[in-house]
Amino acid sequence: MQHIGIIGVGEIGKALVEGLRLDGSASPEIFLSPRGAHVAAELSERFEGVHVCADNQEVVDRADLVIIAVRRQDHHDALDGLTVADDKTVLSLMAGVAIDALRRTLDTNAPIVRAIPLPAVRERRSVTVTAPPHPAVDALFDQLGGSLPVADEDAFNVFSALTGTLTAHYAYLATLTSWAANHGITTDVAERYVRGLFQNVGRALNDESRSLDQLAADHETPKGNNERIRTTWFDPANAAALTQALDGLLADLK
Ligand SMILES: NC(=O)C1=CN([C@@H]2O[C@H](COP(=O)(O)OP(=O)(O)OC[C@H]3O[C@@H](n4cnc5c(N)ncnc54)[C@H](OP(=O)(O)O)[C@@H]3O)[C@@H](O)[C@H]2O)C=CC1
């Protein structure tokens, strides 16, 4: 893709620009929507070949690949009335907006692809799920840490629901830290310790020779502390509540 346009320059739009510029090159040329002016101006000043457009139509007109990175609730405001020529490719990052619905909004025959990049694309360390497979889009995400093309939106939505669990994980770590602080440990010390514990979990996950069940077993002494918390807190009722929350999210994403 020679020219990339981004409509919606917030958290993920910015991460994409930073990832694309990580190697210091000035290509591809990137065209940003003007809204969120502060972030767009900062990116354009920091990086060569990053331009802020006058409006969203100019982003579309100047790009071969048009990335839509606005919040779902803003997409009509951002997209209604735009003209998207059939020779463009549209890449939607919006959770919960199906390709058919987006095609009606944009009134175009251009290929529409969906993707779930995560903020780690800024370090080129996120595997991005895409649907349907599209060679140029998948090549773009291969450059940013990897692509995982799936055949259809049903599969895509399952992955989308999984990404909805990330901030609950951070909240879990924050709860552990608060618990220790409430028991007299300085918050800084507790937080540093919790971060270290779970960085080691992250490293262990890199060992794909061991299944998740095996990793859990390897960290657990029979009748020990880990077994106690797993069986008294993450019990079948808790696991069922998580499953139910994911099912509810998946239903809303369809
Ligand atoms: N953050 C993430 O990790 C991921 C996000 N996504 C998806 O990407 C989308 C954006 O998420 P995120 O970056 O977190 O959200 P942000 O709120 O950080 O960014 C959205 C941006 O869109 C701008 N915007 C709103 N209305 C318009 C408009 N009419 N024209 C142009 N720009 C507009 C906002 O401007 P203003 O601030 O002025 O309102 C804001 O800069 C969502 O649909 C989300 O589902 C997908 C994968 C991961």
Gap between the Cα atoms of 242 and 122, Å rounded: 30
Q: In this structure, how many other beta carbons lie within 10 angstroms of the beta carbon of residue 245?
A: 14
Checking if the pLDDT of 122 tops 90, the result is yes
Beta bridge partners of 7: 68
What spacing in Å lies between the alpha carbon of 116 and ligand 1's midpoint? Answer: 13
Gap between the Cα atoms of 5 and 29, Å rounded: 8
What pLDDT band is residue 36 in, cutting at 50, 70 and 90? confident
The tens digit of pLDDT for each residue in 200-218 reads 999 999 999 999 999 999 9
Secondary element (H or E) of residue 7: strand 3-7
Cα angle 234, 237, 243 (rounded to 5 degrees) comes to 90
Gap between the Cα atoms of 206 and 192, Å rounded: 22
Sheet holding 147-149, edge to edge: 50-52, 29-32, 3-7, 65-68, 89-92, 112-116, 128-131, 147-149
3-150 shares its CATH topology with 166-253: no
Span 13-42, average pLDDT: 94
Ligand 1 within 6 A of 76 CB? no
The tens digit of pLDDT for each residue in 131-164 reads 999 999 999 999 999 999 999 999 999 999 999 9
Checking if the pLDDT of 166 tops 70, the result is yes
Mutate to test the pocket of ligand 1, among 6, 39, 70, 252 (most ligand atoms within 8 A of CB): 70
Could you tell me the residue ranges of all domains in the chain? 3-150, 166-253
What spacing in Å lies between the alpha carbon of 220 and ligand 1's midpoint? Answer: 41
Strands 3-7 and 65-68: parallel
DSSP 72: G
Contact residues for 193 (Cβ-Cβ < 8 A; gap 6+)? 180
Coil/strand/helix, residue 145: coil
Atom 29 of ligand 1 has which residue's CA nearest to it? 78
By the 10 Å C-beta count (0-12 exposed, 13-18 middle, 19+ buried), 218 is classed as: exposed
Q: CATH top-level class for 166-253? A: mainly alpha
Residue with tokens 């139910």: 244
The tens digit of pLDDT for each residue in 228-254 reads 999 999 999 999 999 999 999 999 998
Task: Give the per-residue pLDDT at 1.
Answer: 66
The tens digit of pLDDT for each residue in 69-84 reads 999 999 999 999 999 9
Ligand 1 within 6 A of 11 CB? yes
Is 200 assigned to a binding site? no
Gap between the Cα atoms of 123 and 93, Å rounded: 18
Ligand 1 within 6 A of 95 CB? yes
End-to-end alpha carbon distance in the chain:
30
Structure tokens at 13: 């739009």
Give phi and psi for 171, each to the nearest 5: -65, -35
**Residue 204 half-sphere exposure toward CB, CA atoms < 13 A:** 16
Domain spanning 3-150: CATH 3.30.70.1140: no
DSSP 217: H
